[in-house]
Amino acid sequence: IKDPLVLFMPSGKRGNFPLGTPVLDAARQLGVYVESVCGGRATCGRCQIEVQEGNFAKHKIVSSNDHISPKGPKEERYERVKGLPDGRRLSCSATIQGDLVVDVPQDTIINAQTIRKAAVDRHIERNPAIQLCFVEVDEPDMHKPLGDLDRLKVVLEHDWGFKNLQVAHHLLADVQKILRKGEWGVTASIHRDPEAEQPTIIALWPGLKNEAYGIACDIGSTTIAIHLVSLLSGRIVASSGTSNPQIRFGEDLMSRVSYVMMNPDGREAMTVAVRQAINELTDKVCTEAGVDRHDILDSVFVANPIMHHLFLGIDPTELGQAPFALAVSGAVHCAASDLALDFNQGARTYLLPCIAGHVGADAAGATLSEGPYRQDKMMLLVDVGTNAEIVLGNRNRVVAASSPTGPAFEGAEISSGQRAAPGAIERVRIDPATLEPKFRVIGSELWSDEDGFAESVADIGVTGICGSAIIEVVAEMYLSGIISEDGVVDGAMAERSARILPNGRTFSYLLHDGTPRITVTQNDIRAIQLAKSALYAGVKLLMEKQGVDHVDTISFAGAFGSFIDPKYAMVLGLIPDCDLSDVKAVGNAAGTGALMALLSRDHRREIESTVQKIEKIETALEPKFQEHFVHAMALPNKVDPFPKLAE
């Protein structure tokens, strides 16, 4: 008779195994990731699985709880002492007694957005770079003078199959104490990444250590966002964010590069500042989750190229001028302590690869998260900041570029512009008949024409206008005829409405008559036109490289993308024509990519090989960029049609 067939879900991996094989062994042989710390002693409880009962006709499997061995004494003991949820079994103890469909429970990964964004659920198949291994080491013997550490290595090779183990230097001084404290039972943390490198013991605890944590972090030029994650369950246990303290050296990326060029200690000061902020954030998430920061064993970072270099302590001057040379573009592996990160002494750090001099590890993270290369549809992925990072592609080919949008979308260079903060106008509507506006500000749920609005903003006031609202107000001005296709405020309208004010030789639109007085000037509209033309021209170049005249889906990454209304983005021609239902905000996709790389070495290899294949387009060197840019100055565009807008 044939050996029983075992199918693992959700991976779908399957194989035939002799009767009596422990389910954990079958999982191992198929490369299905099931955690195990105690090495099958039925004490850690990390190897839990569930048997699905039923007839799985497609696979010709009849799976039932009778096809798995009953609980043995060890498993019963575990259940008695620590408890086992209903239907769960310890895969190290349960053996195969017939055809089985086995569910490996996946804890849901919650991608909590850093700012006001609905949570996104996502499953990440786990295969972390860190493994916890409990072993019982032979006691010393005068007749066999093998050292304590050497005997530890012998048993790690015997029980867990690790060959040529390296040992983090700091453990040499501690190993004897730890072995004796654990009465010869210890948990070793083994780091293995990349696969080609020898596995290393990076931490050691007396007794059974049943939890380890990792940090996934997105270092943005404005905001740093961090997740504290259980490496064993894959669960995010706490998240937090803070503004990047480098802002005090320069608001945007280029001013930080200039700061480095002009101040001999500038690079050092900014490196220290960002590392310190990460340590403080780590403190915060650890306190919130009740986790000891020394239990953090791994960390993954994404950042744009300049943030990436400053974090690593690299002078970013070369990135400030053509040919925008990166000091290192490939993935970086190092010790967390090399970067002054205050985690476990042996903790490791991994940085995703950068795509190009202006398209960083953050874009690589977003690419890993959204996966244009995993699908047939032509996906446009845009992350808008001072630079827009643009990725366009599908399974066959992926191209990427960055476009110098400038800070207008973030509210800078706009007369009443400000960051998204309480008091900032975030939504705008203009009545096309009366030209009267109404708006909503961050911190109040009410529109400005609703009863109680004045009271609701009495404390915070109406302070300015943020990036997403600038898009809306300009689009609404266009839709209500206040500005022409060329973006010029129609002075003749001044006769129709007191909202249109002369301002030198041009006209402005009065949005809020209070203190401060908030107007949208001709210069503001120009700044938005320039920014959106740069973005659109970059997108258009990539579409030409791909030989397509439309895109199937558009994903907006980053905070800005979460707040802008896709309809208004299209009215202004920021993005190419597309079914509005296929335009979505994907939140902090770069951070999600960092999380994926933290939980799975497979994802690290996936993005490393993908980045090598991505074709980089340098917009500044492309002769057609200027032509696209000029056409894109019109609203929505001089030459390109937007048929979906009309629908």
In the numeric block, which tokens belong to residue 228?
A: 């504290």
Distance CA 644, CA 577 (A): 6
Closer to ligand FES by CB, 178 or 232: give it.
232
CB of 50 to ligand FES, least distance (A): 14
The CB-of-188 to ligand FES minimum distance in angstroms stands at 15
Whether 390 contacts 406, CB under 8 Å? no
Cβ nearer to ligand FES, comparing 77 with 517: 77
- CB 584, min distance to ligand FES, A: 40
Please, what is the angle between helix 589-599 and helix 361-370, to 10°?
Answer: 80
The count of other CB atoms within 10 Å of the CB of residue 158 is 10
Measured from the Cβ of residue 394, the count of other Cβ atoms closer than 10 Å reads 19
Comparison of 88 and 117: residue with beta carbon closer to ligand FES: 88
Q: Taking Cα atoms as reference points, which of 288, 237, 255, 280 lies closest to residue 112? A: 237
Which residue carries 């050497």 as its tokens?
Answer: 150
| Residue closer to ligand FES, measured from CB, 44 or 366 | 44
The least distance separating ligand FES from the CB of residue 96, rounded to whole angstroms, comes to: 15
Who contacts 562 (Cβ-Cβ below 8 Å, separation ≥6)?
113, 115, 116, 117, 556, 585, 587
Nearer to ligand FES, 47 or 129 (CB): 47
Please tell me the distance from the alpha carbon of residue 20 to that of residue 36, in angstroms, as a whole number. Answer: 19
- Smallest separation (angstroms) from ligand FES to the CB of 586: 36
Between 43 and 394, name the residue whose CB sits nearer to ligand FES. 43
* Nearest Cα to Cα of residue 616 among 411, 328, 358, 257: 358
User: What tokens were used for 620?
Assistant: 């500044």
> Taking the complex as a whole, how short is the minimal distance between the CB of residue 135 and ligand FES, in angstroms?
13
Of 8, 6, 5, whose CA–CA distance to 49 is shortest?
8
**Rounded (10°) angle between helices 624-632 and 522-546:** 130
Least distance from C-beta 643 to ligand FES, angstroms?
A: 58
Nearer to ligand FES, 131 or 619 (CB): 131
Q: Which is nearer to ligand FES, 90 or 366 (CB)?
A: 90
- Nearer to ligand FES by C-beta: 155 or 428? 155
Give pairs for 334-338: CB < 8 Å, separation 24+.
336/296, 336/299
**In 244-371, where do the E strands start and end?**
296-303, 332-335, 348-351
Number of helices (H), then strands (E), belonging to the chain: the values are 17, 31
Rounded Cα–Cα distance for residues 74 and 72 (Å): 6
Query: What is the contact surface with ligand FES in residues (CB under 6 A)?
Result: 36-38, 40, 42-47, 90, 92
Single-letter amino acid, residue 59: H
SS (H, E, C) 293-315: HHHEEEEEEEECHHHHHHHHCCC
| Cβ proximity to ligand FES, 43 vs 200, nearer residue | 43
* End-to-end CA gap in the chain: 63
* Nearest Cα to Cα of residue 275 among 369, 219, 340, 334: 340
Single-letter amino acid, residue 484: S
At its nearest, how many Å lie between ligand FES and the CB of residue 107? Answer: 17
Q: Which is nearer to ligand FES, 36 or 480 (CB)?
A: 36
Cα 252 from Cα 40, distance rounded (Å): 53
For ligand FES, the closer of residues 211 and 280 by Cβ is: 211
The type of residue at 560 is: F
Encoded amino acid at 300, one letter: V
Least distance to ligand FES, CB of residue 100, Å:
17
- Shortest spacing between CB 549 and ligand FES, in angstroms: 55
DSSP 249: G
Q: Which is nearer to ligand FES, 46 or 191 (CB)?
A: 46
CB 131 within 8 A of CB 189: yes
**CB of 35 vs ligand FES, minimal distance in Å:** 8
Task: Supply the minimum distance, in Å, between the C-beta of residue 24 and ligand FES.
Answer: 6
**DSSP calls for 43-99:** -S-TTEEEEEPEEEGGGTEEE-GGGBPPP-HHHHHHHHHH---TTEEETTT-BB-S-
Q: Least separation, in Å, of the C-beta of 23 and ligand FES? A: 10
CB of 36 to ligand FES, least distance (A): 4
By beta-carbon distance, which residue lies closest to ligand FES? 92
Question: Which C-beta is closer to ligand FES: that of 94 or that of 203?
Answer: 94
Q: With helix as H, strand as E and coil as C, how does 547-560 read?
A: CCCCCCEEEEEHHH
**Phi, psi dihedral angles at 299 (to 5 degrees):** -155, 145
